[in-house]
Amino acid sequence: MTPGGLLLLAAACLLAAIGLGPRFERPALAFTLCGTFAGLLAALPVLFGPVDWEWKTSFLLGGEKVHLLLDGVSAVFLVLVSVIGGAGAVYAREYWPASHYPASAGRGRAWWSALVLCMGLVLVVCNGLHFLIVWEAFALCGYFLITLENRSPEVRKAGWLYLAASHAGTLGLFAFFGALAARAGTWDLGPMRNAEGMAPLFWLVLFGFGMKAGFFPCHIWLPSAHANAPSHVSAIMSGVAIKMGVYGIVRFSGWLPVPATAGYVVIGLGATSAILGIAFALTQNDLKRLLAYCSVENIGILLIGLGGALLARAHGNALWGRLALAGMFLHVWNHGLFKSLLFFGAGSVLHATGKREMSRLGGLWRSMPWTAGLFAVGAVAVSGLPPLNGFVSEWFIYLGLFDAVATRSAFAWAAMPAAIMLAMAGALALASFTKAGAIVFLGAPRTMAAVDAHECGLWMRGPMMALAAACLAIGIAPASLWTPISRAVGSWHSPWVLQAPPTPLQTLGSVQLVLAMVAAAAGVWLWRKVRVNGACRNLTWDCGYAEPVPSMQYTSGSFAGIAGGWFFWIFLPERKLRRPRGPFPDKALRLERTPDTVLERVIAPSAGFITRLSTLVRGFQHGRLQSYILYLLAGLAAVGILVYFGTTK
Amino acid sequence: MIAATLLRLALWVLLAPLLPGIINKVKAWVAGRQGPPVLQLYFDLARLWQKSVVLSTLVSPAFVAAPAVAWVAVAGAAMLVPLGPLGAALSFRGDVLLMVYLLALCTAWAALETGSAFEGMGAAREVSYAVLSEAAVFAAMLSLSVQTGSVSLHAMLAPVSGAGTVLLAAGLFSVLLAENCRVPFDDPNTHLELTMIHEAMVLDHSGPPLAVILHGASMKLLLFATILTEAVLPTTGLAPLAVAGVVFAGVLIVTVGVGLTESLLARFAFRRVPMLLTMAFLLCLFSLLVAWKGGVA
């Protein structure tokens, strides 16, 4: 079947799933899986073959001809939508069943299929007007999924914030597509790299899609939405939906000319997001908020790659741009895989204990060994450590940046700090995920809920295992993905097509494979050696504590204390301290909360100011006719004065 | 090739525990003591390897596996380091990144297994200071990369050094001290839990896992000393044997330098450690700027 037929099949299956979702669980799941599988199959021939799939019709929709296009760039994202769309649907079967959530389970299935369908449409639609329509539909699906549990005020608030931020971005997109259509004379989209005067539109692209992508400081909706949504929804929002924003930026920076400074701005935004996103993640106590902030970091990494590519394209197609861009495309997949895995893991913890606060968990590896192990795989991958996939994509981006610095030209000023900040972000990510994994899964349980936890079932474990396996597979055989990645790079900028995978990539893959095997063997061997020598179990020694209790353990807050202190200037944490006083101290407490600086220190105060101002102005409109007549007279008098005293030339 | 790699691995494994012995001897010598024998760590390792293990009731099997994994990571990184005329076991474009990331794999995870606050504190310090030392390491590697126009350790470490060598040497030496838990960042001898980083993390390890951790730490020290020596010493134009001699002498000098630093300096207060690391980062950064703007092409 051609990609077109498969896409049609996918759309039909998903539509059927939307229709069946509210009532029939199994058929809806089957149709969703068929649809996502067909979507995946449609993307593969485009990625592994040389030709794009394009469909131009004379069929009018809203006065515009329907035009669909699946090229390398959109196919990369379509693969991600399909994989996570399928995995999340399976996961939701156990995570959000009708027996627990009678009101929202069916609704959730329907909206899920709708979200997957709309994201697929965003990727293939090639007309400005239609793009806006499916983009809006996609945003709305996201809203209804986030607010599935709409009885909780927290969730409603998070959903509202998402909707507001999303529409602020859409406003930018309306301006962008409108201006584009006005200048190009058509709503039809396509490569216009040589068009005059289009370059400034890039700033609208960056803002409009950036609100969805959630780089710093456009990330305001991300933490609360991802934390309060059901975990499978968080997984697709964080792993895939924010990538749609990245898709928009990548797509239109590839098709349209960009301003000369675009590369510098994008790389700067990327480096800032990477560092600040992960710094905020480190200080969080809510497991899902931590993961959400970590997405801000990863969007930053993607932007560093894209910024490098933009710089290289502007400076004579230097080849290091290709490396950075290939790293970016690979990281789109990688981040989608491991972040969904981590959110599934967090969901499974939430499912078992009902808690997201890390300081109320601990020691879960005993009752949830599978979740603990799979979460650990995700944590290693997201920290960018060998031998998993996160390292491979970061390795590409680093190579691009190192090569850029080695050229000793002006743009090395951008590449050099970006490389160093990327390294620091990597170390902070390691700190964050050491904390997240260890506080939640290791040590002693801190509450009864953590003691009574239970392992999740196969429907939840299966998707997690599949995603973890994908992370490992990309880590040890990255060269096999070179063809699709190179295809996407070629679609973005045709001079950068490269057929054969670079030799270092193959070497890296085999080194990672050997390392993984040797490390596993060494671990098992040491464990056996310990067994042979004899091991006895006893209380934690800890320099002689007679009776350690769980509350003595290091907490998530104290673990983040040192590195968090370095970012004090941006965190501006709220602190409440009451010291113990007197010989028989009464109560003492110390509370600390790290609010989102952009949202609560910048946007909320300015919104409050605007509201107060509007309230003042509203005083003029009170419905008393006499005053209105007075306004008229005053206005007339003002005009009269202007005319009388004003001079005309 | 496999035989050659194994031979090289054996060299690393056997030579590494010598370094802490030399450092301790230097410290004893400065203090006017006789000190433990140079081979003390070998004896310790052999003894620990035979011992049985006490495990905390809280720990998972990963507690034992983690030291092994970290050891493999350091050994893997060591295989990427070119040894003078011998070259590296494996060299490819971008291997420097793999090496740095392998060294970043640490056992902080395992330290949190026991539920001990001391070990948690050690782990928190380790991962936090790693942020700054990572920045310094990357600045240093960028500087070498700019000097040589290459991203492969084999080429980056070989040629004539540029004008920023002194800065680079100072920066890398500070990073070496920090990453290997040496004075003035950390004190490998103290048993006051509150003042330690690395030692606090391994409080509850014993027997073979502790041996693996100690050996891995000595290998990491040897690795950093080798890299520092090769990055700084210009060895082009020398006969292979002479290069080997120069590198060996360089590593020895670095080791003695660590011992002297440890004897003459007190450990810094913890508030100062980030500043010291920032200084190391700035040194590496300035060497990068010098390499970029003033160095030979």
Instruction: Give me the DSSP letters along A449-489.
Output: HHHT-----HHHHHHHHHHHHHHHHHHH-GGGGHHHHHHHH
The torsion angles phi and psi of A542, rounded to 5 degrees, stand at 55, 40
User: With contact defined as beta carbons under 8 Å apart, do A569 and A601 qualify?
Assistant: no
Chain A residues touching residue B62 (CB < 8 angstroms)? 365, 376
Pick from A515, A541, A550: CB nearest B72: A515
Reported in sequence order, the residue ranges of A86-244 that DSSP labels E, i.e. its strands, are: none
Among residues A441, A314, A504, which one has the least CA distance to residue B112?
A441
CA distance A491 to chain B (A): 26
Among residues A358, A371, A559, A526, which one has the least CA distance to residue B55?
A526
β-strand partners of A61 = A64
Q: Residue A352 is inside which H or E element, if any?
A: helix A320-353
Length of chain B: 297
pLDDT, tens digit (0-9, with 9 covering 90-100), for B128-177: 999 999 999 999 999 989 888 888 888 888 766 667 788 999 999 999 99
Task: Select the residue from B142, B190, B192, B201 to test the A interface by mutation, using most A Cβ atoms within 10 A.
Answer: B142
pLDDT at position B297, please? 44
pLDDT at position B160, please? 60
CA distance B49 to chain A (A): 9
pLDDT at position B162, please? 65
CA distance B266 to chain A (A): 22
- Concatenating the DSSP letter of every residue in A384-416 gives T-TTSHHHHHHHHHHHHHHHHHHTTSTTHHHHH
Task: Tell me the C-alpha distance between A16 and B246, whole Å.
Answer: 74
Chain B residues touching residue A539 (CB < 8 angstroms)? 56-57
Cβ separation A399–B93 shorter than 8 A = yes
Chain B residues touching residue A431 (CB < 8 angstroms)? 127-128, 130-131
Q: Is the alpha carbon torsion for B35, B37, B38, B42 positive or negative?
A: negative
pLDDT at position B184, please? 86
- Give the chain A residue whose CA is nearest to the CA of B145: A406
Tokens of B69: 């994994």
Among residues A173, A382, A430, A213, which one has the least CA distance to residue A306?
A213
The torsion angles phi and psi of A377, rounded to 5 degrees, stand at -60, -45
Task: Tell me the C-alpha distance between B249 and B228, whole Å.
Answer: 12
Chain A residues touching residue B273 (CB < 8 angstroms)? none
Task: Tell me the C-alpha distance between A292 and A180, whole Å.
Answer: 33
Cβ separation B288–A416 shorter than 8 A = yes
Cβ of residue B286 closer than 8 Å to a chain A Cβ: no
CA distance A389 to chain B (A): 13
| CB within 8 Å of chain A, chain B residues 214-273 | none
Q: Which stretches of chain A score pLDDT less than 70?
A: 648-649
Decide: residue B251, CB within 10 A, 0-12 exposed, 13-18 middle, 19+ buried. buried
Cβ separation B131–A563 shorter than 8 A = yes
Length of chain A: 649
From residue A138, give the alpha-carbon distance in Å to each of A28, A159, A240, B88, B134: 19, 14, 12, 52, 40
For chain B, domain boundaries:
2-293
User: With contact defined as beta carbons under 8 Å apart, do B263 and B31 qualify?
Assistant: yes
Cβ separation B50–A533 shorter than 8 A = yes
Task: Tell me the C-alpha distance between A452 and A586, whole Å.
Answer: 33
Q: Write down the H helix ranges in A185-319.
A: 201-213, 222-228, 231-236, 242-255, 262-283, 287-314
Chain A residues touching residue B61 (CB < 8 angstroms)? 527
Cβ separation B104–A385 shorter than 8 A = yes
- CB-based contacts of B18: which residues, under 8 Å, 6+ apart? B38, B39, B41
From residue A158, give the alpha-carbon distance in Å to each of A219, A299, B134: 13, 21, 36
Report the SS3 class of residue A576: strand
Among residues B227, B292, B245, which one has the least CA distance to residue B95?
B227
pTM over 0.90: yes
Pick from A424, A526, A566: CB nearest B64: A526
Chain B residues touching residue A559 (CB < 8 angstroms)? 120, 123-124
From residue A372, give the alpha-carbon distance in Å to each of A230, A368, B60: 20, 6, 11
- Give the chain B residue whose CA is nearest to the CA of A564: B128
Tokens of A341: 């895995």
Strands A589-593 vs B53-56: parallel, antiparallel or unpaired: unpaired
Task: Tell me the C-alpha distance between A453 and A350, whole Å.
Answer: 9
Task: Select the residue from A368, A409, A413, A430 to test the B interface by mutation, using most B Cβ atoms within 10 A.
Answer: A430
User: With contact defined as beta carbons under 8 Å apart, do A306 and A329 qualify?
Assistant: no
pLDDT, tens digit (0-9, with 9 covering 90-100), for A128-157: 999 999 999 999 999 999 999 988 999 999
pLDDT at position B198, please? 79
ipTM of the complex: 0.95
User: With contact defined as beta carbons under 8 Å apart, do A594 and A573 qualify?
Assistant: yes
Cβ separation A543–B118 shorter than 8 A = yes
Strands A535-538 vs B53-56: parallel, antiparallel or unpaired: parallel
Cβ of residue B114 closer than 8 Å to a chain A Cβ: yes
Q: Which residue pairs from A557-561 have beta carbons closer than 8 angstroms and sit at least 24 positions apart in sequence?
A: A557/A283, A557/A285, A557/A359, A557/A592, A558/B120, A558/B121, A558/B124, A559/A434, A559/A435, A559/A439, A559/B120, A559/B123, A559/B124, A560/A282, A560/A283, A560/A431, A560/A432, A560/A435, A560/B124, A561/B124
Task: Select the residue from B90, B97, B292 to test the A interface by mutation, using most A Cβ atoms within 10 A.
Answer: B97
β-strand partners of A69 = A54
Cβ separation A550–B118 shorter than 8 A = no
Task: Tell me the C-alpha distance between A470 and A264, whole Å.
Answer: 33
Task: Select the residue from A380, A392, A540 to test the B interface by mutation, using most B Cβ atoms within 10 A.
Answer: A540
Task: Tell me the C-alpha distance between A224 and A157, whole Å.
Answer: 8
* Consecutive 10-residue averages of pLDDT for chain B (297 residues): 88 94 94 92 95 90 92 94 83 91 82 84 89 93 88 80 81 92 80 69 89 94 93 79 89 95 87 90 92 67
Cβ separation A533–B121 shorter than 8 A = no
Among residues A57, A94, A88, A51, which one has the least CA distance to residue A70?
A51
User: With contact defined as beta carbons under 8 Å apart, do A506 and A481 qualify?
Assistant: no
pLDDT at position A63, please? 86
Cβ of residue B108 closer than 8 Å to a chain A Cβ: yes
Cβ separation B124–A548 shorter than 8 A = no
Pick from B97, B150, B204: CB nearest A542: B204
- Give the chain B residue whose CA is nearest to the CA of A278: B131
For residue A260, which amino acid is it? A
Report cis status (omega within 30 of 0) of the bond before B184: yes
Task: Tell me the C-alpha distance between A114 and A98, whole Å.
Answer: 19
Q: Residue A59 is inside which H or E element, if any?
A: strand A53-61
Print the SS3 string covering chain B: CHHHHHHHHHHHHHHCCHHHHHHHHHHHHHHCCCCCCCCHHHHHHHHHHHCCEEEECCCCCHHHHHHHHHHHHHHHHHHHCCCHHHCCCCCCCCHHHHHHHHHHCCCHHHHCCCCCHHHHHHHHHHHHHHHHHHHHHHHHHHHHHHHHCCCCHHHHCCCCCCCCHHHHHHHHHHHHHHHCCCCCCCCCCCCCHHHCCHHHHCCCCCHHHHHHHHHHHHHHHHHHHHHHHHHHCCCCCCCHHHHHHHHHHHHHHHHHHHHHHHHHCCCCCCCCHHHHHHHHHHHHHHHHHHHHHCCCC
Chain A residues touching residue B90 (CB < 8 angstroms)? 507, 511
Helix axes A320-353, A72-95, angle to 10 degrees: 10
- Give the chain A residue whose CA is nearest to the CA of B119: A542
Task: Tell me the C-alpha distance between A303 and A219, whole Å.
Answer: 14
Cα dihedral: B252, B254, B255, B257 (round 10): 120
User: With contact defined as beta carbons under 8 Å apart, do B180 and B220 qualify?
Assistant: yes
